[in-house]
Amino acid sequence: MSSRSDKLVVGIDIGTSGARAVAMASDGSVVASGAAKLSAFSDDHRDPVGWWKAVQAALEETLGRADRQKVAALAIDGTSGTMLPVDESGAPLAVPMMYNDPVGDRALLDAIAAHAPRESAAHGATSGLAKLLAFQSLPGLFRVIHQADWLAGHFTGLYDVSDENNALKTGYDPVERRWPDWIESTGARVDLLPDALPAGAPVATISPLAAEAFGLSGEVVVVAGTTDGCASFLATGADQPGDGVSALGTTLTVKMLSDRPLFAPEYGLYSHRIGEMWLAGGASNTGGVVLAEHFSPERIATLSSEIDPAVDTGLDYYPLVKPGERFPIADPDFPPRMTPRPVDDATFLKAIFEGIAGVESLAYQRLTSLGGPGLRSLRSVGGGAKNAAWSAIRARKLGVPFLPVLSEEAAAGTARLALAGARKAGVL
């Protein structure tokens, strides 16, 4: 018989190209992982059967590398805003609408705009609420649920349960912790909404069918999951108010834990509730896209070795490839600032690095000015985080400790929620 100290939990991530799973020990260490590409099972990324087969394959690979009888809990994250209509048995009644699929019916969008509070994340053509309105006339409809809800239902048999993070774009109020009354005013059928539980809350024990299929104990607790974005943040190990995570990819995304919710629609800023804390963040149009406009990856690597990150160029860049910025400045006409251009390419690259670091610093200052805590530490993910010269410039500009990332796998963040849920359920 396993003791509680050697129990495992499993986190599962379903993304746009595939599924990943990790088995995590009670101390937070990853002991096994597995992955599967959606393309191995379906040519259509909207095919729910393909999602489930990818999850099955990733989970089986993971369990094949761990002691499956030690698994005490599992949780799943999915792409935020991906919705599907289901009947009472969980069977999809139409092709799902993915996170970036817009609803084209202007009347539905106008109904949301007329009734949703300004700070609600339900605004916009890709919101979960817009998709619920688009699906709600289907015959035989039981619920309109999120991708993670549907996959979790395969482990519990329940297709009417969601989490507070996935529910946010469907109009859920994370402050009051309920579906607000205004949703019905949009014409939405509120009886089609799933119950929303806190991320990391125990949902139910695994169904006998799922336990047998995966060779798991019948006492495994299925835990409310989250969105892929929240899971990626949690994976890094950030867990205190003021902990920030910067994603340095094509664009710059900053996220920070706060002890209070932050809402600023003008910046596209809203807050997810995680435990007793709030995760807020914003996305800038600066980032790797600007670097790629001027230099190849190989050239960046060569020039970076010539940069002295301790000395400032004195150039005040705001690097963008075209006018328009979202955060920390909300201005669709905001102009790029990338002149004068030095003759020396290494100095030019350094000025771009400094400019993006300046935008990053301003972004965290903006979160603080909107009511968040001061930045206390920073973790970095994405391709840009691997550039030592850029990291040194950023550390100088931001002036806080740069901490190591525990994992960049969203599945590891979801496993951390499973750990929390297992402890709440008393099985860990």
Distances from the Cα of 343 to the Cαs of 105, 319, 340, 347, in angstroms? 52, 17, 9, 8
Give the pLDDT confidence score for residue 268 in this predicted structure: 87
Give the pLDDT confidence score for residue 1 in this predicted structure: 47
172: left (phi over 0), alpha (psi -120 to 50) or beta: beta
Least Cα distance to 237 among 421, 403, 11, 52 occurs for 403
Ordered per-residue pLDDT tens for the chain, 428 residues:
456 779 999 999 999 899 999 999 999 999 999 999 999 999 999 999 999 999 999 999 999 999 999 999 999 999 999 999 999 999 999 999 999 999 999 999 999 999 999 999 999 999 999 999 999 999 999 999 999 999 999 999 999 999 999 999 999 999 999 999 999 999 999 999 999 999 999 999 999 999 999 999 999 999 999 999 999 999 999 999 999 999 999 999 999 999 999 999 999 899 999 989 999 999 999 999 999 999 999 999 999 999 999 999 999 999 999 999 999 999 999 999 999 999 999 999 999 999 999 999 999 999 999 999 999 999 999 999 999 999 999 999 999 999 999 999 999 999 999 999 999 999 99
Q: CA 63, CA 216: separation in Å to the nearest integer? A: 9
Q: What are the structural domains, with CATH classification, of the chain? A: 4-230+410-425 (3.30.420.40), 240-398 (3.30.420.40)
